[in-house]
Structure 1
Amino acid sequence: LEKCVGCELCAWACPADAIYVEGADNTEEERYSPGERYGRVYQINYARCILCGLCIEACPTRALTMTNEF
């Protein structure tokens, strides 16, 4: 299962407006995440990202990580 539950907290926390999340509801037939919702569309614009890490702190499920590898 995906860790992202489509809550959009990472997008709201981003000061550079580099994250776009579109959440959708899980169904009994198709379950993509452990929560009621999942991130149907998830985009990070790395050209806008300032590597501040606020999105990582905001994520309640630890779906985001930051490493030195690209």
Structure 2
Amino acid sequence: MEMIEKKEIESMLIDFVPKRYLNQREACRYAGTTPKTMNEWLKKGLKQIIFDDRSNPKYDIRDIDAFMDQHKIGVNR
């Protein structure tokens, strides 16, 4: 069995986000968007978790998925 080098594993996992609650940078990476767009999504109803005035907002992956599902459009044929 071939051994995988630590650097190779790290390079494979560099964009992997294994947690449910994300900070804005992680949420943008997960959704494939920018902070500017994420802020626009907040204005359109994306939910954010804020614990107190000093905490950084968190985003639930499930809320991001639900928001994106609500904004899907398709062409009727």
The question of a shared fold, defined as TM-score above 0.5 by the shorter chain, is answered with: no
Q: Using structure 1 for the length normalisation, give the TM-score.
A: 0.29
Q: Using structure 2 for the length normalisation, give the TM-score.
A: 0.27
- Larger fraction in strand: 1
- Larger fraction in helix: 2
Bigger radius of gyration, 1 or 2? 2
